[in-house]
Chain A
């Protein structure tokens, strides 16, 4: 039991990163991670010790994300900025890195969620197409085509962003 908890704990940093790629808001992303952990803990019996915990956890998280998207679609949500004080540990990167990072994360949010998740699993989390297919519950060929479309969309978003940047009034 403790071994399994330890394995989940060890995956936390990557779960948080995947969640942050799916929903950009840090608090919403951590809530998603927490839901994922809670669900995982209730299902630990069904998880074989030898199984890759990452794939198992990512699958749970993905399903929760899909549920969440459905709920949001029904209601329409604007995020509230909760008083969590969680930003204290975040150090600001240099201004340039900041803009580049911000732009690419914004672009990522602008692409379709199913393409976003496929792209992030493979290009950031380093899963193979077969692994991503298991997590997303789709055939490997579909993973491939979602990634291809996702990359095209991302490129287009980034081009738009850099065009906007060049015409923006520069502050200070």
Chain B
């Protein structure tokens, strides 16, 4: 018996659309066609990867605004709301017990909102290069902080400050001057107690665009950045997003008034 299949059937089989009685023949066809077998295995592996990346989203806590959108404030719904709320809470506990795996994709300029600013990309690139340095992480160390800030302020063309990130667990290592397109950029490097590094990158931008607080991600590093008053600011690093966000917000708060002066 020579049952004929095509690549199309790989998808049908994977998606449970191939009639059960044809599965044996399909298996035999795969055995006889190693190329197709490899392809089928690859699609299967990709699907599993997709499932394990997205699966946990269903176990995250559902934001209150969504349950409220359905239930109103719940007062007029006679105990039903509390029943459902209870069920959702129970689901949460199960998810936590199962290991609390959740994908850290709380935000990102991906997909439909991909446009990023060169400031963010340059900050991430510069961070990768210098945070990996053991001996020459910075040009001027934090022991000469005043000199460092004065020098970089003069070169970048605005009154810079190295934000105090100690409440977030990061202390200043120092800084350096970098090229940024045709202009220059200042990089301040910070480090936490276990050696994780994040950097603040500041450069002059071409336009006077202003943005809110944005996240740029590529591969495994990310930057929170904003443009303000002709300057671009980015906090880059590869630490967990929640940590990055806390640090970036602290820096943002401290830098915004300073930036407005220039």
Q: Which residues of A contact B (CB under 8 A)?
A: 2, 5-6, 8-10, 12-14, 16-17, 20-28, 30, 33-34, 37-38, 41, 68-69, 72, 76-83, 86-93, 97-106, 108-109, 113, 119-120, 122-124, 128-129, 144, 147-148, 151, 154-155, 158, 161, 164-165, 168-172
A110 to B221, CA, bound (A): 18
Known contacts A6-B80, A25-B109, A164-B219; decide if A155 and B46 are in contact (CB<8 Å): yes
Residues of A within 8 A of B84 (CB): 6, 9-10
Residues of B within 8 A of A147 (CB): 11, 15
Most chain B CB within a 10 A radius of its CB, from A9, A17, A30: A9
Residues of A within 8 A of B109 (CB): 25, 78-79
In the complex, the answer to whether A17 meets B70 with C-beta atoms within 8 Å is no
Known contacts A24-B111, A123-B51; decide if A151 and B46 are in contact (CB<8 Å): yes
Residues of A within 8 A of B65 (CB): 30, 34
Of B28-36, B56-64, B154-162, which binds chain A? B56-64
Closest-CB distance, B90 to chain A (whole angstroms): 13
Residue of B nearest to A79 (CB): B113
Q: Is B23 an interface residue (CB 8 A)?
A: no
Query: Sorted from nearest, which 5 A-B pairs have the closest CB atoms?
Result: A109-B111, A101-B53, A79-B113, A87-B106, A13-B58
Known contacts A86-B106, A171-B132; decide if A5 and B70 are in contact (CB<8 Å): yes
Known contacts A13-B91, A144-B11; decide if A104 and B101 are in contact (CB<8 Å): no
Identify B131's interface contact among A88, A102, A154, A171, CB under 8 A: A171
Known contacts A17-B57, A78-B115, A169-B129; decide if A148 and B69 are in contact (CB<8 Å): no
Q: Which B58-86 residues sit within 8 Å CB-CB of chain A?
A: 58-63, 65-67, 69-71, 77-78, 80, 84
Q: What 0/1 pattern do residues 146 to 186 of B give for CB contact below 8 A with A?
A: 00000000000000000000000000000000000000000
Can you pick out 15 interface pairs between chain A and chain B where the beta carbons lie within 8 Å of each other?
A9-B88, A12-B62, A25-B111, A28-B112, A90-B106, A97-B101, A99-B220, A105-B53, A123-B14, A124-B54, A144-B12, A151-B43, A154-B50, A164-B219, A169-B132
B: number of interface residues (CB 8 Å): 80
Residue of A nearest to B63 (CB): A30
Residues of B within 8 A of A6 (CB): 80, 84
Most chain A CB within a 10 A radius of its CB, from B43, B131, B211: B43
In the complex, the answer to whether B110 meets A87 with C-beta atoms within 8 Å is no
Known contacts A72-B113, A86-B63; decide if A81 and B215 are in contact (CB<8 Å): yes
In the complex, the answer to whether A77 meets B113 with C-beta atoms within 8 Å is yes
In the complex, the answer to whether A80 meets B8 with C-beta atoms within 8 Å is no
A169 to B111, CA, bound (A): 25
In the complex, the answer to whether A151 meets B213 with C-beta atoms within 8 Å is no
A101 to B52, CA, bound (A): 7
Closest-CB distance, A127 to chain B (whole angstroms): 9
Identify B104's interface contact among A23, A98, A154, CB under 8 A: A98
Residues of B within 8 A of A76 (CB): 115
Q: Which residues of B contact A (CB under 8 A)?
A: 7-8, 11-12, 14-17, 42-43, 46-47, 49-63, 65-67, 69-71, 77-78, 80, 84, 87-88, 91, 100-117, 128-129, 131-132, 195-197, 211-215, 217, 219-221, 224, 238, 240-242, 245
Residue of B nearest to A26 (CB): B106
Identify A123's interface contact among B47, B57, B219, CB under 8 A: B47
A109 to B195, CA, bound (A): 33
In the complex, the answer to whether A88 meets B242 with C-beta atoms within 8 Å is yes
In the complex, the answer to whether A170 meets B58 with C-beta atoms within 8 Å is no
Identify A37's interface contact among B59, B66, B238, CB under 8 A: B66
A128 to B55, CA, bound (A): 18
Residues of B within 8 A of A154 (CB): 46, 50
In the complex, the answer to whether B105 meets A105 with C-beta atoms within 8 Å is yes
Closest-CB distance, B138 to chain A (whole angstroms): 16
In the complex, the answer to whether A81 meets B112 with C-beta atoms within 8 Å is no
Residues of B within 8 A of A169 (CB): 128-129, 132
Known contacts A79-B214, A169-B128; decide if A87 and B242 are in contact (CB<8 Å): yes
